[in-house]
Structure 1
Amino acid sequence: MKEITLEELLEAGCHFGHQVTRSNPKARDFVFESRDNIQIIDLVKTKQGLDEAAAFVKHLGQNGGTLLVVATKKQAKQAVEEEVQKIREDLKEKAEKNGQTLFYITQRWVGGVLTNFSEVSRNFKKLSDLKQKLSSLEEKAK
């Protein structure tokens, strides 16, 4: 796997964060400083995090784990789709034996799907029930 350098992160603009007023307080540890009301991200910590994530993904792959990649920003959608397809091709034989283990979402992500699934699934059930009632009313109106 290609190692990403600090220079590449800088050239890619990875150091630009949110406006200070829009930032999450939990992210403070990863902010190097703020300039002109924009947070500057600490690229050394970013690189450490990327290296840890890469090691984790490699470990997952070696041990038959499952990975879900979520990329809903315009800038990332195409790249993620292409890379996942390439990896799937490389792992095709293994996936046929063990089942698909690499998934991706590039459309709208419903918040809470992983962290609050019980509430999200209740809302999906309500939506399904409403659709059924509407369909039933439309049938009666005919």
Structure 2
Amino acid sequence: MEKVEVKELLEAGVHFGHLTRKWNPNMAPYIYMERNGIHIINLYKTAAKIEETCAALSKIAASGKKILFVATKKQAKDIVAEKAGAVNQPYITERWPGGMLTNFVTIRKAVKKMSSIDRMKKDGTFNSLSKREKLQIDRQRAKLEKNLGSISDMTRLPGALFVVDIMREHIAIKEAQKLNIPIFAMVDTNSDPRQVDFVIPSNDDASKSINKVLSIVSSAIEDGLNERKAERADKEGKPKKENAKPIANKTEAKVAVQEEEE
């Protein structure tokens, strides 16, 4: 992974925090100074935290688990859809569907419903319906697509959550905490960093800042995915060992089974 340049973060305005009166005291370690009533974030700390985040996300991607991106604010939506989509990761940019993680089974049912509508259209069943029924199904499909389209390939819970603006996405944060899913996030000076496992102290309001941070993060995920591909190709290319070492205990056996499944 390439080194994060403080100069580039500065140019993207990552250092601009919120008004000092809106600050959360728990962000004090990441604040450099106050200027014209606005808190300025210490970009050296931001750079270090981005590198830490990228190393962890790259590992998660290499393990084959998905990273779910969450950003429903206007200035972040398109950027998240583009960056997460480019590295084939699921994302939520419309309203967070309550129970998305804690009630994952129900969400999967809704996704299956979407797939069954698509099947109806392919096999011709859809054409035999009345005009009114077709309209109802099309509306239902459009609604499901809007809310769940980008997570339709997510067959199991994500390995991590990446959030832009933890105050806005507090429901997503709570659900991830309940299930012990690691949370990575861009955290501004008005938020509580204690809710997040991997904090990136940064301006979560300006699209330029969001774009900069997400470009670095998605690049690290891509590195992890490439590493996984290379390892798989390596495995497939090697002949199987005949005299495999006996597995010593139950834990090793479990790990071996998991690796085989992956």
Report the count of equivalent residues.
Answer: 104
Verify: 1:108 aligned to 2:95, yes or no: yes
1:59 corresponds to which residue? 59
The 1:87–1:113 alpha-carbon spacing in structure 2 relative to 1, beyond 3 Å, is closer
Deviation at 1:49, TM superposition (A): 0.8
User: Once the 2 structures are TM-superposed, how far is the Cα of residue 87 of structure 1 from its aligned partner?
Assistant: 1.0
Match of 1:96 in 2: none
What letter corresponds to residue 59 of structure 1 in structure 2? K
Question: Which position in structure 2 is the counterpart of 1:13?
Answer: 13
- Which runs of 5 or more residues in structure 1 are unaligned? 89-101, 118-142
Aligned residue number for residue 69 of structure 2: 69
Q: Which amino acid is the alignment partner of residue 171 of structure 2? A: G
**Distance in 1 between residues matched to 2:2 and 2:94, nearest whole Å:** 27
Tell me the equivalent position of 1:49.
49
Shift of the 43–72 alpha-carbon distance from structure 1 to 2, 3 Å rule, reads same
Give the TM-score taking structure 1 as reference length: 0.65
Structure 2 gap segments, 5+ residues each = 97-168, 177-262
Q: Are 2:26 and 1:26 equivalent residues in the alignment? A: yes
Q: Quote the offset at 1:103 in angstroms.
A: 1.8
2-structure distance, mates of 1:72, 1:13: 21
Aligned counterpart, 1:121 = none
* TM-score of the pair, normalised by structure 2: 0.37
SS in 1 for 2:171: coil
Residue type of the partner of 1:74? Answer: K
RMSD in angstroms over aligned alpha carbons?
1.9
Superposed displacement of residue 73, structure 1: 2.8
Residue deviations 1:11-35 (CA, integer Å, cap 9, x gap)? 0001100111101111111000111
- Alignment correspondent of 2:35: 35
Once the two structures are TM-superposed, the CA of residue 116 in structure 1 deviates from its matched residue by 5.4
Seen in structure 2, the aligned counterparts of structure 1 residues 6 and 28 have a Cα distance that, compared at 3 Å, is same
